[in-house]
Amino acid sequence: MEKLKTRCSLQEIAVVIGAELKSIQSLKPDAIIIEAIATIELAKEGDVTFLGNPIYRKYLEKTKASAVIIHPDDLPYALVPALVTHNPRLGLTKLLKLCLKEKLPKMEIHPTAIIAESCSLSDDISIGPNCVIGKRTSIGGCVYDRLNFV
């Protein structure tokens, strides 16, 4: 389960991931607050989940999620509010990107890291404590090397 940075309404999530919100008539989409992302089998109230493969369609009727990100073909099977998009995986990725944005490390090179002079390093990387980057190594953007990585 991945917690959201802030609680979001389904309407806000629909805008962020570019999905059409289809809600059960008795529920107001702005009244449904999402706090986390979870798998379709483990989701509970306050979670959003997704269906990226029809094999898992059987879980749609059992999910406890407050909403599901789905393809239009799966809409007839949804018993909870749906965020409908032609690419549910991309929708989930956009939502995860939002969640993880705040959790990414500060882009810096730790003072205990050992880096060969012949390395080519992008500006937007993070090298953790005790990492060793060898000769003629090239590291591109958005890379995070953890503690003691060689």
Q: Which CATH number does 2-101 carry?
A: 3.40.1390.10
Q: Which amino acid is at 78?
A: A
Torsion over CA: 94, 37, 5, 66 (sign): positive
Check residue 147 and give its pLDDT. Answer: 47
The full set of domain ranges for the chain reads 2-101, 105-150
Walk along the chain (150 residues) and give the pLDDT tens digit of each residue: 666 666 788 888 888 899 999 876 666 656 788 888 899 999 999 999 999 898 999 999 899 999 999 999 999 999 999 999 999 999 998 888 776 655 445 667 888 888 898 988 877 677 878 888 888 888 765 555 554 454
What is the helix (H) or strand (E) element at residue 27, kind and residue range? none
Contacts of 22 (CB under 8 A, 6+ apart): 75, 78, 81, 82, 83, 84
SS (H, E, C) 44-102: CCCEEEECCCHHHHHHCCCCCCCEEEECHHHHHHCCCCEEECCCHHHHHHHHHHHHHHC
Residue 26 tokens read as: 């008795």
Q: At residue 55, what are phi and psi to the nearest 5 degrees?
A: -60, -30
Look up the pTM and report it.
0.65
Compute CA distances 72 → 91, 104, 109, whole Å.
Answer: 13, 33, 45
Give the CA radius of gyration of the chain. 20
Q: Can you tell me the distance from the alpha carbon of 78 to that of 33, in angstroms, rounded to the nearest whole number?
A: 18
